[in-house]
Amino acid sequence: MNKPRYNKIVVKVGSSLITDGGRGLDRNMIATWAEQMSELRANGVDVVLVSSGSIAEGISRLNLKTRPTNISELQATAAVGQMGLVQAYEVCFQEHGLHSAQILLTHADLSNRKRYLNARTTLRTLLAYGTVPVVNENDSVSNEEIRFGDNDTLGALVANLIEADLLIILTDQEGLYDSHPGQNPDAKLITRADANDSQLLSYAGPSSGHLGRGGMQTKVRAAQLAARSGTHTVIASGKCENIILRLARGEAIGSFLEAREGHLAARKQWLAGHMRCLGNLHLDDGAVEVLQNKNASLLPIGVKKVDGVFNRGEVISCLDLKGREIARGLVNYASDECKQIIGKPSGEIPQILGYEDDPELINRENLILTT
């Protein structure tokens, strides 16, 4: 294939598409998508798959006539269906010499900052191992209070996690139209737009399907969420030949919803606007010099004092010896751990804490200068 345009891609597949309208898993389509993703991996592209279909597959396996409405029945149906879903992907990826990896997430995993960072670390490690992580909502334990609501949203959050360049949402539609194509024969496909264009939601309608919970509105909202971390989104038909490879090359298919800010700019903008810092790190003059003039990370050895109570991943303020804020960022260790390792070389972190998450207190990619 021609060189892919993107380095990190999240592919989201919907329930009606993967189950051929509810008639059980469409293994031919799964094999086709797996082949395309395997080719991307062979060309150095990191790929994460977010796949719906566990409940739909469970309905098929259990010979249920309708989708359950009772929470416990839905959870049980998802547990049965998840076995078939993961097995199908693993068989297809192994044909191309790849392993898949199952990741089941709940809303609580990503709303809690520490668990969010743990999920991010796990996904990045799996990608480094050369696998294709297959992510789904953990429907077997989720309830209505803690669920994402649809896998479009989950796809966007996974794109945030790995800082993907592109989120591909595969559906049974050609893309986003300016009106319902089934009701208006003159409806026009939106081929390209700003993901944050407020008019897009007025074009999208709610879900009309019985298998999944998503609709075009959730896909637009997912694109807006993905754009916050600089990820572009494409909504396109999963039945189009070689769709994943063609979109990875940058072909104009479906609806391309553009993120106007890049990854770093989006994160820095968020940090700059984050008014509430939960703690302070007081830096020596050498650390201040390194941060301001060398675009470097903050190491424990350059910190003199820790104020406040905070957890890993919280936004904290970096102060010079006169108490002036010079930077803020996402800290890699909780406040009690920071107090143990400040003033020490990074190489001593494992000995002091018994483990090492990162050699830096704040990585330069998660830090913004304020003066």
pLDDT at 140: 56
Which carries the bigger pLDDT value, residue 118 or residue 296? Answer: 296
pLDDT at 189: 94
Which carries the bigger pLDDT value, residue 121 or residue 297? Answer: 297
Mean pLDDT estimate for the chain: 86
Edge-first strand order for the sheet with 8-13 is 100-105, 132-137, 46-51, 8-13, 166-171, 232-237, 255-258, 192-194
Average pLDDT over residues 322-334: 92
Q: Where are the alpha helices (DSSP H) in the chain?
A: 15-18, 27-42, 54-61, 71-94, 107-111, 113-128, 151-162, 200-203, 216-227, 243-248, 263-272, 285-294, 335-341, 349-353
Average pLDDT over residues 250-276: 75
Average pLDDT over residues 231-251: 95
Whether 41 shows a pLDDT value over 50: the answer reads yes
Mean pLDDT lowest among 99-103, 175-179, 272-276: 272-276
Mean pLDDT lowest among 49-53, 100-104, 261-265, 289-293: 261-265
Which tens digits make up the pLDDT trace of 138-174? 755 555 433 444 688 889 989 988 889 999 999 988 9
Give the whole-angstrom CA distance, residue 296 versus residue 286.
12
> pTM (2 decimals)?
0.75
Q: How many CB atoms lie within 10 A of CB 281?
A: 27
Q: How long is the chain?
A: 371
Whether 208 shows a pLDDT value over 60: the answer reads no
Domains, the chain, in order of start with CATH, read 8-267 (3.40.1160.10), 273-369 (2.30.130.10)
Which tens digits make up the pLDDT trace of 52-93? 888 888 888 899 988 888 888 888 988 898 899 999 999 999
Structural tokens at position 348: 């001593």
pLDDT tier, 3 (very low <50, low <70, confident <90, very high otherwise)? confident
Percent of the chain surpassing pLDDT 70: 87
pLDDT at 268: 66
pLDDT tier, 28 (very low <50, low <70, confident <90, very high otherwise)? very high
**What DSSP string runs through 148-159?**
-SSHHHHHHHHH
Whether 133 shows a pLDDT value over 70: the answer reads yes
User: Does the CA dihedral 33-178-204-269 come out positive or negative?
Assistant: positive
Give the whole-angstrom CA distance, residue 235 versus residue 253.
8
Please report, for residues 38, 236, 263, 326, the alpha-carbon distance to residue 26 in angstroms, rounded to integers and kept in the order given: 18, 18, 35, 55
Please report, for residues 25, 185, 196, 361, the alpha-carbon distance to residue 50 in angstroms, rounded to integers and kept in the order given: 15, 32, 23, 31
Give the whole-angstrom CA distance, residue 350 versus residue 332.
14
Whether 224 shows a pLDDT value over 70: the answer reads yes
